[in-house]
Structure 1
Amino acid sequence: MEVPGRLILSALLIASCLAELNSTEAEGRSSCTASLGGANMADTHKALILKLNADENCTWTIYRPENKSIRSIFSHVQLDPDGRCESENIQVFDGPSTNGPLLGKICSENDYVPVFESSSNTLTFQILTDSARIQRNVFIFYYFFSYDTSIPGCGGYLGALEGSFTSPNYPKPHPELAYCVWHIQVDQGYRIKLNFKEIFLEVDAHCRFDFIAVYDGSSTNSGLIGKVCGRGAPTFESSSDSLTVVLSTDYANSYRGFSASYASIYTESVNTTSLTCASDKMRVIINKSYLASFGYDENNLQLNDPTCRPKVSNVVEFAIPLDECGTVKRVEDHSITYTNIITFTASPTSAVITRQKHLQIVVKCEMEHNSTVEIMYITEDDVIQNQIALGKYNTSMALFESNLFENPILESPYYVDLNQTLFVQVSLHTSDPNLVVFLDTCRASPTSDFASPTYDLIRSGCSRDETCEVYPLSGHHGRFQFNAFKFLRSLSSVYLQCKVLICDSDDPQSRCSQGCVSRRKRDISSYKWKADSILGPIRLKRDRSASGNSELLHRTHADETQSQPFDGLHLFSFGVLALNAVIVATIAVKRFVNQRTNYKYQRL
């Protein structure tokens, strides 16, 4: 009964897919120059199948309801494979016309699934094709969504050398209208092997409706390794130390989703040993052939704590926690170091003499801001390696819903009201429990490069804003709150940057213990345990009174340029009448130019 059951299930999947496809084609099939009749604002989504001809040149605009954003997904694009991006492309603009900011350009050279999100209330597509007489097909799916709502388990950051993750609600049906992004980042010198244990999505030959996209890099603009849907259990492998996985779903036919796991594969050539220092561990790689040259193998290795064993693959790898496995911590002269020793044990050939060299590797991490050095000493009889590397602590910054700091806000950008209280936490990710985080300086800027202007919230541990409140030291977390503001004569986006100091909690003379110092006795700019965290953008919600009403959605392109009616002729002078005459003449010229050009603005 198992085989007939699978056949019936496959038939149901294909039938549901064809039903949706036929429905989509019925409502959305159109050429570029045909009128679509406008999108119903009561609909939260729409799918379009476009069959483009040669020499197309048209422009469409999508309007969103109030307090919503637009996400458009070009899940299938078939343009002229020999066409150049300059002569055949689809450009997407953030705004009601092609004068808005360009979000991106789609052409046959793209090696990813284009996805665009608006920050304004409109999104504009400009489609241009060359003279080649071939059929072109484009599938566009767009929907309205709110940054204020999030789907639990939808995306995230995976930084361990191995791990697993699933689609939201797995093994129950995945949510509708979801766009989830997982970023996998492992240590330098590793590649990532991604194994899908199960994929159960809607079936489609081009994976237009529900799909998983895997990118060979740290973003969705990296090279596309593969796009899959339906049922299967594929495996992918990255060419570097990062991988990005995307799940995109539409509004119908939800199934189990997926379950996946990943592992790291060491790829760099190691002649002897290598050491890297992370915020929570030391990582030592030893080449097997190097061990064999001394007559040893992985079974002869041990740390200060013999119960901590290495991971063996094509190399021997020790992941040594900073507070376990016999690691020794030392604090002196504003420096924290972590040391452990790898020794090689073997039975002596005689109780009196030996001809086998004794190999000992001393690994030492000194935590500083940013740099790496390695030193090795070799003696004539015994071989002693001293591996020393400089590392930096891993910190991150996030907004929270309340002063309990329990639920981090995952939306980016995060939309807030003016004067709304914001709760900020800088976190130190380390296994050393005896460290504290001190907020030295926090400032705001309207741009991510923190060029002028900037505004200080905290300086030298002291609050510089009347609404800013700095919380007491709290272990691995530095916390403060302030009321939201915007920069004059700038965009409504605000970025936050904090410089933090990391100290040993048992050191009463550390800078962290001094707290607010308005006039410092000495400069601590060279303090070793500094780390920078950046958060943003934080954006202001659009003023409801300035958003207009629904009548604005039905104005024509020419109506948007017309002036408002008179409130009373007695309020206007002859100068105003002359100005209106100029405006009318400008509108007439603009209409004449629009009739002469190939551009057509059609409301979706």
Structure 2
Amino acid sequence: MRCVWVHVEHAKAHVICNETSMTVELEKAAFKGLDEDHLRLNDPGNEACRLHSNGTHVIGFIPLNECGTMIKEDDENLLFSNEITTFEDVRDIVTRKHLLEVQFSCQYPKRGNVSLGFTVHRDNQTITEKGFGTFTYNFEFYPDILFDTMINPHFYPLDYEVGDKIYMQIDATTSINNTVLFVESCSASPYDNPNYQPTYPIIENGCVQDSTVVIYPTSHNKQFRFSIDAFKFIGLHDQVYISCSVILCEAGNPNTRCSRGCLPTTPIGRRRRSAVIETGAHFISQGPLRLQSTPENKSSVTGLNLNMAFIAGCLLAAIAMICGVMIHKFKRPAVRYQPLSSIEQ
């Protein structure tokens, strides 16, 4: 692991890297005149991604797989990066008044033990939004189509063979009854970051993208059940995380994103946040899943190889026998015909 120091004007942000998170400490002297309550990370939606402060510093504790942390890689290292920026309204997604921008990162060697530090089995995600109060998303894997008992968190990471059915369920828990859950998108990635490339789309803009996806009926409107056939990323990646973008909407309202369902293209200006008819889109994820080739496939290949070897051996033996007969025939003394003596005649 290597810590990266970031300079901001004449002040200095100190970054501490460990196996599961980054801790950044920014001197308040670096942003005199700015409100520290208007500083944010890439994705501040989760309570765990809030910045804190003391008398001299603003402090952020950033898990490697949350808060919009970006992941890049080269042949030797993984680079996790995030940034602290200013905002006027928490709902804004663009700004033209960036008064402060502090980028920081941590670098880890691929050959180290950083993979042991990734959080296995993500806990429930609790969010508070105007008009919807406090609600919780729960994303779990199940062993079969019955969806009776979720897989024990202590069993993570989960092992699947390529082609196995992976059963998943997303639940939303809220005190407001007149709400419905909508899964806008789901994708798979080798790392627990929906922005990591490559990602494999499973559901996009409410439309199913993978031909093996099956959606199952649920007992209430705040639940979503589906399955997909297990697959493996081509290359060295042997693990998969599933990330989904989810929304809560006012039930029965035709103007919500939930009511519009599958849209082949990304809708523009869909959020009527002032009417408080739906929440913002929130990313939830679960994993990792460890994928491996199906033993049956390996057995069939091995059996095929043995059969081919046996057939080849038989052919070689037959050729050897034919050659031996021919050699024996050519080496045998030729028959000489001589006239019989007069006595024998």
Query: Normalized against structure 1, the TM-score is what?
Result: 0.26
- The structure that is helix-richer by fraction is 2
Higher RCO, 1 or 2 (CA under 8 Å, sep at least 6)?
2
